[in-house]
Structure 1
Amino acid sequence: MATLSLYDTAFGTSIYALQTLLDLLEKAQAHPEASTIPEARIYPDMRPFSFQIRIVTAFSKKFVETLTSRTVEQDESEPKTLDGLVELVTKTLDLVKSVPRDEVDGTSITTATIKSGNLPPVDVTVQQFVLTHALPNLYFHLVTAYDILRLKGFDIGKRDYLKNFASEYYKA
């Protein structure tokens, strides 16, 4: 019977998502309208590009905090420049990469508390936290950031979104 590693599921996915954000941010920095991108949004009542980036980093930090019992600073501020967003993603990627596999896969932590909006906190298994709360949120905000760049006219496609996730088996 195959087992799914919490480290691979949470940290592996987080690393790929953060690397994808760095690639997208690099393209954004080269765009003629680079200064407008942090505040760009798909629809007026949606949160801007900078928020999408911050939430991907927040969930990546939450993996570290929840699955290792480390205290991780969750900065609620949102960088308003592309350079600030690159710095945030880079620091978060370094943090996630600093966690050794055995600290996560060997953990005795079995529960996590989910706090979502105005809903009361709820205790769930760490597997539920990762699979049904954190990963769906991470993917949602990553693809929303991607979609904002597409809306701004960026020449990016599915390969730009998936290339880091598939880098282990596609070497293109």
Structure 2
Amino acid sequence: MTISMYQASVPVFRRGLTQCAAILAKAEAHAAARGFDPAILLASRLAPDMFPLARQVQIATDGARGAAARLAGAELPDPEAEDFAVFNRGVRHAFPAGEESFPQLAARIAAALSYLDGLAPDRIDGAEDRPVAVTMGGRTRHFTGLPFLLHYALPNFHFHIVLAYAILRHSGVDLGKQDYEGPAVYTAG
């Protein structure tokens, strides 16, 4: 069996973002059930020098969209377009104003999923050797498709999704491993 670049990217990004949306819905319900402002969770972080929950989700959605766009060879509105950024923006990066509510984060995830759904497999399949450029702060990093996906995009994507999970779990939201993994994709045998 072979796996295509599309199968290794878009469905993986979709699954992670879908699970992230479910985790955020649980967090919003948690805040409502306990009667506290959900903004407290959105601003939560595990350490003083790390990004808060809302920023972790922003980076994951931008990264999934940006990685898939680059693998598809899609023309970006700007090489440094924020909504197509790919992860390493640097500690001193000035982020645009972000979402301030769980419904706004849900809409951001839905927009990223919609973008991913618009990418046909034939636009990404065969991208193993496609040149991929990631520009940040005027500095461009050059990759080819397969190493970009396996060694840069996917690890960074999962890092930010798992941090969102960990921040919420640490904040007392009733989450387990299944919330992160989602439904099983194996076949009964």
RMSD: 2.3
How many Å apart are 1:53 and its aligned residue? 0.2
Structure 1 partner of 2:82: 74
Q: 1:145 aligns with which of 150, 161, 164?
A: 164
Q: Report the count of equivalent residues.
A: 167
Distance in 2 between residues matched to 1:127 and 1:28, nearest whole Å: 35
Instruction: Calculate the TM-score normalised by the size of structure 2.
Output: 0.79
Per-residue deviation at 1:71? 3.5
Name stretches of at least 5 consecutive residues in structure 2 with no aligned partner.
84-95
Q: TM-score, normalised by structure 1?
A: 0.86
Is 2:110 aligned against 1:90? yes
CA displacement at 1:101 relative to structure 2: 1.1
Q: Which residue of 1 aligns with 2:43?
A: 39
CA contact (8 A) 2:5 2:126 kept: no
Name structure 1 gaps, 5 residues minimum: none
Q: Determine if the alignment matches structure 1 residue 127 to structure 2 residue 146.
A: yes
Does 2:182 correspond to 1:163?
yes
SS of the residue aligned with 2:116?
helix
Deviation digits for residues 1-27 of structure 1, max 9, x if unmatched? x43311011111100011011101110
Contact conserved, 1:67 with 1:109, CA < 8 A, in 2? no
Residue 145 of structure 1: how far off its partner (Å): 0.3
Selected match of 1:103 from 115, 119, 123: 123
Change (3 A) 1:108 1:148: closer
User: Aligned residue for 1:29?
Assistant: 28
Tell me what 2:155 maps to: 136
CA displacement, residues 45-94 of structure 1 (integer Å, 9 cap, x when unaligned): 11000110011101111123201222356334421211110100011011
Contact 1:40 1:49 in 2 (8 A): yes
